[in-house]
């Protein structure tokens, strides 16, 4: 079978790919691997377990809790909270392990399991591989070594998690939001209670949409993957800005007072300038990915801020930040990491900091985001090609070189094999949308002929 763990935990259709048996087995395996790694040495281990509001999260949570407790791990069940809240509580409560049940922006039938190590950081790849291997070993018949009597884990509902996380957000907010009117789109997801409470406590006048989760409606027409309703609500209510989260609220996209979308690159640009002004932008550097809009890089260079680019995925952004001591990084999709205050992307924190910048400067979000001119970006997926030959095809290399000469310094080309499908992604940026379309179309044709 293929690897269970992807770039963001284990994810699949709940009760089909992701079953109760799998959730239980992986949880037991995780407990054993962390015990062997010395994480539990000298004390009784504790885990924080949370979930988003998906219906399937109810039985999957029960399976994870059962697995951990059966392996001798005490469980603090925090209920429905955002992924970054579970990561924060794992660190703040001194827990040895955190588990979040969510499929993020995926549609309702899917669900996922994400493990956090002590401190609230993502598990190392090596530990994920060991968990998966141990799970497979025992699935084939080998019995687990199980504690009995007082050795089994105890399960407690930790209701204080909500207020503890809100207090954390209030504690790191640079200034209040009094006088701002903000529309919040919660995607009927994990932040449906947290985000409105945080913005209200910070002083904003709030209007909420997509904040009535019923277990079945998560991401359905609302949230960061469906911005239409938020754009309309901001304009209709004369709001200063709108903030959209995804299902587990590790993302944030925004809308300015005109109803125009402000993406993750633009949010990063606004926060980078704010953090530099406050002396918090360590090494005068912000981390993006190879998919960050060229306009972002040009804007930061124009402001004298260095940009480091990583592979696509917030895990790679975070790895670079931790390795080199950077304070701010993120993706165009709205995963923004402020490492001094969060161990993962935190959509509520990002939205609060963005609104705080608007409040502190008295400038509109449209004006602040105007520091960056977002260049037209065309993405074409070319299916059914041999993606392994992208880097070795002379014909493709020549076509890319021609395209780069044509675009010059105000455009760029990126060819990227998909990590999960037999296709190649052709991305072209240019100052002119028609030029970007023409160059992307030509390159896609070459990809088909050279790699087909």
Annotated binding site for Mg(2+): 104, 246, 248, 250
Q: Which of 104, 195, 320, 333 is catalytic?
A: 104
Residue 280 sits at the vertex; the CA angle it makes with 314 and 125, to the nearest 5 degrees, is 25
Closest to 280 in 3D by CA, of 148, 378, 181, 174 = 174
Which token pair is 360? Answer: 């502190």
Which token pair is 126? Answer: 């090596």
Closest to 330 in 3D by CA, of 423, 265, 415, 233 = 265
- Sequence ranges of the binding site: 104, 246, 248, 250
Whether 27 is a known active-site residue: answer: no
Distance of alpha carbon 65 from alpha carbon 155, whole angstroms: 8
Cβ(119)–Cβ(90) below 8 Å: yes
Cβ(427)–Cβ(379) below 8 Å: yes
Dihedral of CA 58/60/63/67: which sign?
negative
Q: Determine the length of the chain.
A: 452
Any idea which residues carry the catalytic annotation?
A: 104
């Amino acid at each position: 079978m293929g690897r269970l763990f992807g770039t963001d935990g284990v994810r699949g259709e709940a009760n089909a790919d992701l079953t109760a048996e799998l959730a239980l087995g992986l949880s037991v395996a995780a407990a054993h691997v962390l015990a062997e790694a010395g994480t539990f040495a000298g004390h009784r281990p504790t885990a924080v377990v949370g979930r988003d509001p998906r219906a399937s999260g109810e039985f999957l949570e029960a399976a994870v809790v059962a697995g951990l407790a059966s392996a001798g791990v005490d469980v603090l069940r925090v209920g429905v909270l955002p992924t970054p809240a579970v990561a924060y509580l794992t660190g703040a409560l001194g827990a040895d392990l955190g588990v979040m049940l969510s499929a993020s922006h995926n549609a309702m039938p899917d669900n996922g399991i994400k493990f956090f190590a002590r401190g609230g950081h993502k598990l190392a790849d090596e530990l994920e591989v060991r968990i998966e291997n141990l799970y497979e070993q025992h699935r084939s018949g080998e019995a687990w070594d199980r504690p009995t009597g007082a050795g089994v884990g105890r399960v407690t509902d930790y209701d204080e998690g909500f207020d503890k996380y809100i207090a954390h957000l209030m504690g790191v907010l640079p200034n209040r939001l009094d006088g701002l009117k903000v529309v919040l789109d919660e995607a009927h997801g994990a932040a449906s209670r947290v985000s409105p409470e945080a913005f209200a406590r910070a002083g904003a006048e709030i209007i909420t949409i997509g904040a009535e989760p019923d277990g079945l409606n998560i991401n359905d027409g609302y949230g960061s993957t469906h911005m239409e309703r938020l754009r309309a609500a901001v304009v209709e209510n004369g709001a200063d800005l709108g903030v959209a989260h995804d299902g587990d609220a590790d993302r944030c996209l925004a809308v300015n007072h005109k109803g125009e979308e402000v993406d993750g690159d633009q949010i990063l640009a606004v926060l980078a300038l704010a953090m530099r002004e406050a002396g918090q932008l360590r090494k005068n550097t912000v981390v993006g990915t190879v998919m960050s809009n060229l306009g972002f890089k040009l804007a930061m260079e124009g402001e004298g801020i260095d940009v480091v680019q990583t592979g696509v995925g917030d895990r790679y952004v975070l790895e670079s930040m931790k390795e080199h001591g950077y304070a701010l990084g993120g993706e165009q999709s709205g995963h923004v990491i402020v490492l001094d205050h969060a161990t993962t992307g935190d959509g509520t924190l990002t939205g609060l900091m963005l609104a705080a910048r608007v409040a502190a400067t008295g400038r509109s979000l449209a004006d602040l985001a105007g520091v960056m001119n977002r260049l037209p970006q065309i993405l074409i997926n070319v299916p059914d090609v041999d993606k392994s030959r992208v880097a070795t095809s002379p014909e493709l290399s020549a076509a890319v070189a021609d395209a780069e000469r044509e675009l010059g310094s105000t455009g760029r080309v990126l060819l990227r094999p998909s990590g999960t499908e037999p296709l190649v992604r052709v991305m072209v940026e240019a100052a002119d949308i028609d030029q970007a379309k023409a160059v992307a179309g030509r390159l896609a044709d070459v990809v088909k002929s050279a790699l087909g």
